[in-house]
Amino acid sequence: MDQFAVKVFVRLRPSVLDPAGEATKSASIKLGAEGIKSLRIGKIIEVKIEGNGENEVREKIDLLCDRLFANTVIEDYEYSLEKL
Amino acid sequence: MDNFTVGVVVFPGSNCDRDVSWALEGCLDIRTKYLWHESSDLSDVDAIVLPGGFSYGDYLRCGAIARFSPLINALDDFIKSGKRVLGICNGFQILTESGFLPGALVANKNLNFICDDVELDIVSSKGGWFNYGDEKKTIKLPIAHGEGRYHCDSDTLKKLVDNELIALRYKNNPNGSSFDIAGITNEKGNVLGLMPHPERACDETIGGIDGLFTLKSLILK
C-alpha cells in the first residue's frame, strides 16, 4: 500500500457571489492594501490516504470531492497529490 | 386525524424538532413521532418533516453531513412512494444537498444571520402546500438563517419557473436569493423545502397563524 498526501481546494464557482470574500476585500482595502481587484475565499482539505497506486487513490478522492467535499452546484474543486 | 403520524427527524444539532412536534400535536391534533437520524425504518410514519437547526454543526456546508445519515438514504423510496416530505430551513438545505430538490443555499448576501418576519407571495400551490385558492395570495412567516440565499443556475431556474415549482417568493428579498425564491417543490409536489418557519406561526398569541395551513397539508394524500 502506498500512502499519499492530498490537498483539495474547494472554491465557490465564479458565478456565485462570495459575500465573505467581498467583506474581506473591503477590510483589506481599509488596512491600506492597494490594487486588490478581487478576493474570494475557498477551503482547503488535507487528506492522508492509502491505496494501491496513484490511480486508485485518485478514484477515491474524485468520489469524495464530487459527493462530499464540494457541492458542485455552487463549488468547483481541484486537488494535488503527493506520494509519501 | 385517525392514526396519521408525522415523523419529525432529529439530527445531532436539530433545534426546531420540538417546535414542529408541538405545532402539529398542540395546534393541529396531528400525531408525531421523533425519528433519530440513524433510523432507516420509516414504515410507521405517513409523512416526514426535516426540521430546522444546525445538523452536524453545519460542518463543511449546511446539510452536507446529514445527507449521509441512514434516514436520508431511506428517504428516496419514501418520496418515490408519493408520501410527503417537508424540509424547513436546515431541512431545506439537507434536501438540496441530497439532490431531492435542485439548487443550493449559501451565505446571505449581507452576511447577517437574519431573524425577521417576512411577507411571502404564494407563487404555486403545487402539492397543495399553499392552496388557499383566491382567499390568500400573501402570507407572513418568520425566518431565522445565516445561509438561506437560494442559488441555482439559469437552466434550473427556467425549469423551476416553467414547471411551477417555485412555491414562495420573498416580497422584499432579505438574503439575496435568486429570483427571490423562499421555497420550492419537487416536480411531483410531494416534497417542499422552504427557508421560512411555518411551525413558528401556528398561534395568534405568538405572532400569527400563517404556518398552520402548510403543516396541515402534511396529511394530504
**Integer Cα distance of B124 and B127 in angstroms:** 9
Which of A17, A24, A26, A74 to mutate to test binding with chain B, by most B CBs within 10 Å of its CB?
A: A74
Name the 3-class secondary structure at B30: coil
pLDDT of residue A47: 98
Burial B28-67 (b: 16+ CB within 10 A, else e): bebbbeebebeeeebeebbbbbbbbbbbbebebbbbbbbb
> Using CB atoms and an 8 Å cut-off, which of residues 6-65 of chain A contact chain B?
12, 15-17, 19-20, 23
3-state class (DSSP) for residue A2:
strand
Q: Tell me what ipTM this predicted complex has.
A: 0.84
Per residue in A6-30, pLDDT (tens digit) is 999 999 999 999 999 999 999 999 9
Q: Half-sphere exposure of B132 toward its Cβ, with a 13 Å CA cutoff?
A: 17
Using alpha carbons, list the distances in angstroms from residue B110 to A30, A71, B80, B103, B173: 18, 22, 37, 20, 11
pLDDT in tens, chain B (221 residues): 568 999 999 999 999 999 999 999 999 999 999 999 999 999 999 999 999 999 999 999 999 999 999 999 999 999 999 999 999 999 999 999 999 999 999 999 999 999 999 999 999 989 999 988 777 899 999 999 999 999 999 999 999 999 999 999 999 999 999 999 999 999 999 999 999 999 999 999 988 999 999 999 999 97
Pairing label, strands A2-12, A75-83? antiparallel
Output the pLDDT for position B134. Answer: 76
The structure's pTM equals 0.93
All cell numbers assigned to B121: 407571495
CA torsion B184-A68-A24-A33 (nearest 10°) is: -140
pLDDT score of B221? 77
Mutation choice for A interface testing from B61, B152, B159, B160 by most A CBs within 10 A: B61
Residues of B marked active site are found at: 89, 197, 199
- A19/B60 CB distance under 8 A: no
Of residues B159, B166, B106, B22, the one with CA closest to residue A40: B106
Q: What is the pLDDT of residue B133?
A: 78
Contact of B166 with B121, CB cutoff 8 Å: no
The nearest alpha carbon in chain A to B155 belongs to A73
Q: Which residues contact A41 (CB under 8 A, 6 or more apart)?
A: A12, A18, A20, A21, A24
Pairwise CA distance, residues B84 & B123, whole Å: 19
pLDDT of residue B135: 79
Smallest CA–CA distance from A13 into chain B, residue: B153
Q: What is residue A32's predicted lDDT score, i.e. its pLDDT?
A: 95
Contact B106 A74 (CB under 8 A): yes
Neighbours of B75 (CB within 10 A): 25
B100 CA: distance to closest CA in chain A (Å): 13
